[in-house]
């Protein structure tokens, strides 16, 4: 299983801060498609994905047990 | 304290300045970023920050390592606060020491630029008539409706 984290506006729009999904072996691009099909109202265009706390590329592949965090545009500072 | 941390309590900047001060340092730059009440004519009541804490702390640590590589002889400490912050409170502190002032100034600005660009921290503005999560303040995505001209700086 993959644990997906949602932050900030994504957390509010999905109504959850995390969920598990059976996405091992899928790419980041496929993960985004899965999230988009579950939450069609989300805009993920500017969202980056981090796997296990490191920014990932859209072709990177998820392994069982990974955490995938959806990172909307940041605004620290 | 840790040299690179996300905190929930009020930030005491002097602790970070003291942490980076060494006998070989002739300069310490101490940047504090504060909650601003007025942004382009819109009044903020307070801010709520959240972070992906473990990733944010890792990235702050990497920024510090990068600074020590780019400006040899510097030492850095960075903290960002999350939770509800009132007007005037410190959201972020960056302390850099170096033998001479130029490196300390440059490295300090480098750190805040990197934080604003990619460290997973978000702020929500709370106004009298609504709230909004603020998006990237440096590169504005075409498709996002998150900014609406309300970005800071």
> What letter would DSSP give residue A61?
B
pLDDT tens profile A33-65: 999 999 999 989 999 999 999 999 999 999 999
Angle between helices B53-70 and B101-118 (to 10 degrees): 150
How crowded is residue B63: how many other Cβ atoms within 10 Å of its Cβ? Answer: 23
**Residue A44, domain member (yes or no):** yes
Q: Which of A6, A74, A73 is nearest to A38 (CA)?
A: A6
CB contact under 8 A, B144 and A8: no
- The enclosing domain of B75 has a CATH number of 3.90.1170.40
Using a CB-CB cut-off of 8 Å, the residues of chain A touching B51 are 76
- The enclosing domain of A53 has a CATH number of 3.10.20.30
Q: How far is B9 from chain A (nearest CA, A)?
A: 16
Question: What count of CB pairs under 8 Å joins A to B?
Answer: 86
Tell me if chain B has a CB within 8 Å of the CB of A69. yes
Using a CB-CB cut-off of 8 Å, the residues of chain A touching B135 are 46, 72-73, 75
b/e code A34-45 from CB counts within 10 Å (16+ = b): bbeeebeebbbe
Q: What is d(CA B105, CA B28) in angstroms, rounded to the nearest whole number?
A: 8
Q: How many domains does chain B have?
A: 1
> What letter would DSSP give residue B111?
H
The whole domain housing B34 covers 4-130
**Residue B143, domain member (yes or no):** no
Q: How many domains does chain A have?
A: 1
- Complex-level ipTM: 0.96
pLDDT tens profile B32-86: 999 999 988 899 999 999 999 999 999 999 999 999 999 999 999 999 999 999 9
DSSP string, A10-34: HHHHHT-SEEEE--TT-BHHHHHHH
Question: Does B139 have pLDDT greater than 70?
Answer: no
Tell me if chain B has a CB within 8 Å of the CB of A6. no
Tell me if chain A has a CB within 8 Å of the CB of B110. no
């Amino acid at each position: 299983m993959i644990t997906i984290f949602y932050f900030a506006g994504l957390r509010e729009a999905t109504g959850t801060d995390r969920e598990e999904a059976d996405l091992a072996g899928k790419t980041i691009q496929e993960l985004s498609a899965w999230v988009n099909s579950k939450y069609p109202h989300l805009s993920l265009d500017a969202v980056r994905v981090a796997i296990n706390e490191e920014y990932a590329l859209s072709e990177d592949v998820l392994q069982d047990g990974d955490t995938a965090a959806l990172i909307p545009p940041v605004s620290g500072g | 304290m840790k040299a690179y941390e996300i905190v929930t309590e009020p930030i005491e900047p002097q602790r970070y300045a003291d942490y980076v001060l060494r006998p070989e340092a002739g300069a310490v730059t101490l940047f504090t970023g504060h909650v601003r009440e007025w942004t382009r004519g819109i009044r903020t009541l307070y801010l709520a920050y959240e972070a992906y804490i473990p990733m944010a702390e890792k990235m702050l640590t990497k920024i510090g390592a990068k600074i020590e590589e780019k400006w040899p002889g510097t030492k850095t400490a960075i903290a960002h606060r999350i939770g509800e912050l009132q007007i005037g409170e410190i959201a972020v502190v960056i302390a850099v020491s170096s033998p001479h002032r130029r490196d300390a100034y440059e490295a300090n600005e480098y750190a805040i630029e990197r934080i604003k660009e990619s460290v997973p921290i978000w702020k929500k503005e709370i106004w009298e008539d609504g709230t909004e999560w603020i998006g990237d303040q440096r590169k504005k995505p075409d498709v996002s409706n998150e900014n609406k001209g309300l970005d800071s700086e």
